[in-house]
Amino acid sequence: MPSIGPAEPSPDCPLCPRLHGFIAEWRRKEPHWFNAPVPTWADAAGDDKVELLIVGLAPGLRGANRTGRPFTGDYAGDLLYSTLKRFGFARGEFKARPDDSLELTGTAVTNAVRCVPPENKPVGAEINTCRRFLVPTMARFANLRAIVTLGLVSHQSVVRALGGRVAAHPFGHGAQAELGGLRVFSSYHCSRYNTNTGRLTEEMFVDVFGEVRAFLGAD
Ligand code: SF4
């Protein structure tokens, strides 16, 4: 089996020049922001407790790129973390800041692309390059059983990371696939754009996590 690299990029990862330059620009503009690849956030009780991994697209400029915690500081986290709490995948109070009392339970949250991209749009080469961290992130959790992918980019990168063909496992909200011994659940991304346009309703999002909870069993 080929060895795999680290699950976390260096804080100044230079592998995607465009994103590296974009972050450098924001370090100058907002020196107190996080402005670095955003690390995976996981259950503090230990990696062996993690059965569920949620994979988003990339840090939001004023969200995770500002605060340093996935889905923290912009709208997408409101729906994600309220839903995780509802199904026992998180507990505490989400106040959209890394020092709130929210904790993950049996769950980890990461992004397919760790650096904030301009306009929230990573290009294909960046998605492919950052998969070198997604693969070991999935391997990091020995008892992982399920992954929720948020949006098309996340879905396709997870399928590829698990050695699958995207044509054989197309993205669809509510779709499920078995890959690499894991159950992959797909959802539209919980972005403000998707909820404002009605592409994703709260009920649709909750339904996906209800399926995940049923698959994993009661918490
Ligand atoms: S997106 Fe990933 S691979 Fe690219 S520079 Fe950031 S951490 Fe490195």
Structural domains in the chain, sorted by start: 17-216 (3.40.470.10)
What distance in angstroms lies between residue 128's CA and the mean position of ligand 1's atoms?
10
| Average pLDDT value for residue range 45-61 | 98
Measure 176 CA to ligand 1 centroid, in angstroms. 28
Where does residue 32 rank: exposed (0-12), middle (13-18), buried (19+ CB within 10 A)? exposed
Q: How far is the CA of 129 from the centre of ligand 1 (A)?
A: 7
Burial of 67 (0-12, 13-18, 19+ CB in 10 A): buried
- The whole-angstrom separation of Cα 11 and Cα 38 is 8
- Pocket probe for ligand 1: among 130, 133, 134, 137, the residue whose CB has the most ligand atoms within 8 Å is 130
Give residue 127 CA to ligand 1 midpoint distance, Å. Answer: 8
In this predicted structure, the answer to whether residue 219 has a pLDDT above a threshold of 80 is no
Task: Give tens-digit pLDDT for 165-217.
Answer: 999 999 999 999 999 999 999 999 999 999 999 999 999 999 999 999 999 99
**How many Å is the maximal CA-CA distance in the chain?**
47
Evaluate if residue 1 carries a pLDDT over 60: no
Confidence of residue 218 (pLDDT cuts 50, 70, 90): confident
Give the residues surrounding ligand 1 with Cβ less than 6 Å away. 9, 13, 15-16, 19-20, 37, 113-115, 126, 129-130, 133
Question: SS3 helix, strand, coil % of the chain, rounded to 5?
Answer: 35, 15, 50
Choose between 1 and 115: higher pLDDT: 115
In ligand 1, which atom is closest to the CA atom of 14? 5
Distance CA 48, CA 45 (A): 8
Ligand 1: centre distance to CA 75 (Å): 23
Task: List Cβ neighbours of 127 (8 Å cut-off, separation of 6 or more).
Answer: 112, 113, 153, 156, 157
- Tell me the C-alpha distance between 146 and 213, whole Å: 10
How far apart are alpha carbons 161 and 157 in whole angstroms?
A: 6
pLDDT for residue 49 is more than 90: yes
Residue nearest to atom 6 of ligand 1 (CA): 115
pLDDT at 74 exceeding the cut of 90: no
d(CA 204, CA 189): 11
Mutation pick for ligand 1 pocket among 20, 129, 134 (CB with most ligand atoms within 8 Å): 129
pLDDT tens per residue, range 109-126: 999 999 999 999 999 999
In percent, the amount of the chain with pLDDT more than 70 equals 98
pTM greater than 0.95:
yes
